[in-house]
Structure 1
Amino acid sequence: MDSARGSTIDAGRIIKVNHAGEHGATNIYAGQIAMARLRAPSLLPELAEFKAHEERHRAIFAKELKRRGLPRCRSYWLCALGGYVLGLLTGLMGAQSIASATVAVERVVLRHLRQQLLEIGNADPDATVAISAILSEEQQHHDQSAKHIRHTGVIDRLIGSGISAATEAVIWLGMRL
């Protein structure tokens, strides 16, 4: 029991949602790569690197799910579809939107990962190891992408806010499915 919140920490649920989220992130980058070939070819090596990181993150959580005998989260395919559409749309809009989308998603993801580590604490060392294993690369994605943002106009801020809100909503939904 987590006395601060009055609820039981479900590390298995957290791992399931993180696995689905990494699947979504893999698909965001797949969509962005498809469009960046036309709109932002200079970002292709970075996007390919980020996608490879996300595939490795997904594998870390998949291994942990298998070890626990848990199925994927019900939001797994929702994350894939939503991620791919987001990747295509932001990729179509160009380098600035690609970078803004990554910053918006990673800002939310980093906050959730850090909160998860605090909530889990020493209660589930395997979950802590899995979450900790991806934190630095997620921070790298955020920081490298932030360097590509040259200006933030009203539209950019609205897009970033919308993407952050959608990311929060998918995480919330995944925790409840």
Structure 2
Amino acid sequence: MAVTAALIWKGLLRGARGCWTLQSMYSPCRFCSTGATMKNINKPVLDRIIRVDHAGEYGANRIYAGQMAVLGRTSVGPIIQQMWNQEKDHLKKFKELMILYRVRPTVLLPFWNVAGFVLGAGSALLGKEGAMACTVAVEESISEHYNNQIRTLMEEDPDKYRELLETIKKFRDEELEHHDIGLDHDAELAPAYLFLKNGIQIGCKAAIFLSERI
């Protein structure tokens, strides 16, 4: 019976970069795509990081979707689309990591679905400057959050979490690029720029806090 149970737990999952085998329940459960093992990682820390990052990238995708719904056919449409395409890649990667590390998504995804789109469309209704102010606020918050995660993983074990660190650093740099694009396209000329930016960032911090835990 023990052997049968162990065999039942064997499976094969396919990801964008190939396959990894979930070994039997009596193995150290090594994943060939990253070299990480469930036995030697800090699972609660990884759960929080991957869950909130997936939620953040999901929300960012919905924000850009809302902006494109309003400004997609204007001169700034291709710029928004370019940033959105990168956010799609970020979201795809965190979906893969959720499967790899068996992390459940936040239960708040349906709310972020609606809230993200409303924020994106609402900021875009203020014009190009409003959309770019929203981008600056959100991307600044996300990049700061990524920096905090990098520090956490470095303190844990930079070698053990090397691939995840590389992923987060890459995405942080791309978020900073989006931030700079927003500034270059007149974000600071948006109506009540500082009020708008600060309000969005307060919302981002609340979303991060909740998505890590729920």
What TM-score, normalized to structure 1?
Answer: 0.88
Q: Decide which structure has greater strand share.
A: 2
The question of whether the paired residues in 2 share the 8 Å contact of 1:120 and 1:128 is answered with yes
Partners of 1:36 and 1:148 lie apart in 2 by 14
The CA distance in 1 between the partners of 2:128 and 2:190, in whole Å, is 15
Structure 1 residue 115 corresponds to structure 2 residue 115: no
**For 1:80-119, what aligned pairs fall within 5 Å after superposition?**
80-119=113-152
Asked if 1:30 corresponds to 2:30, the answer is no
Amino acid at match of 1:100: A
Per the TM alignment, residue 137 of structure 1 is displaced from its structure 2 partner at its CA by: 1.1
In angstroms, what is the RMSD of aligned CA positions? 1.9
What letter corresponds to residue 84 of structure 1 in structure 2?
F
Among 180, 197, 201, the alignment partner of 1:143 is 180
Contact conserved, 1:33 with 1:44, CA < 8 A, in 2?
yes
What is aligned with 2:38?
none
Do the aligned partners of 2:129 and 2:190 also contact (CA within 8 Å) in 1? no
Aligned equivalents of 2:60, 2:177: Cα separation in 1: 14
| Alignment match of 1:155 (pick from 188, 192, 205) | 192
User: Structure 1: how far apart are the matches of 2:119 and 2:128?
Assistant: 14
Query: Counterpart in 2 of 1:131?
Result: 168
Q: Which residue of 1 aligns with 2:52?
A: 17
Provide the secondary structure at the position in 1 that maps to 2:124: helix
Please tell me whether Structure 1 or Structure 2 has the larger radius of gyration of its CA atoms: 2
* Bigger share in helix: 1
User: Identity of counterpart residues, as a percentage?
Assistant: 28
In 1: Cα distance, 2:51 partner to 2:190 partner: 36
Matches of 2:44 and 2:105, distance apart in 1: 18
Is 1:69 matched with 2:102? yes
The structure-2 alpha-carbon separation of the partners of 1:95 and 1:16, relative to structure 1 and needing over 3 Å to count, comes to same
Residues 1:62 and 1:150: Cα distance change in structure 2 (over 3 Å): closer
Aligned residue number for residue 44 of structure 1: 77
Superposed structure 1 runs of 4+ greater than 3 Å apart: 150-154
Aligned residue for 1:3?
Answer: none
Aligned mates of 1:49, 1:127 — CA distance in 2: 24
Higher relative contact order (CA 8 A, sep 6+): 1
| Aligned residue in 2 for 1:166 | 203
Distance 2:210 2:97 in 1: 21
Against the structure 1 CA distance between its residues 151 and 105, is the aligned structure 2 distance closer, same or farther, given a 3 Å change threshold?
closer
| CA–CA separation in structure 1 for the residues paired with 2:47 and 2:163 | 10
Total equivalences in the alignment:
168
After TM superposition, give the deviation of residue 124 of structure 1 in Å.
2.6
C-alpha change, 1:9 and 1:127, in structure 2 (3 Å) is: farther
Give the 3 Å change call, closer, same or farther, for CA 158–118 of structure 1 in structure 2: same
Of 79, 89, 92, 2:112 maps to: 79
TM-score between the two structures when normalised by the length of structure 2? 0.73
Partner Cα separation in structure 1 for residue 93 and residue 187 of structure 2: 34
Q: Any gaps of 5 or more consecutive residues in structure 1? A: 1-7
CA separation of 1:79 and 1:126: change in aligned 2, threshold 3 A: farther
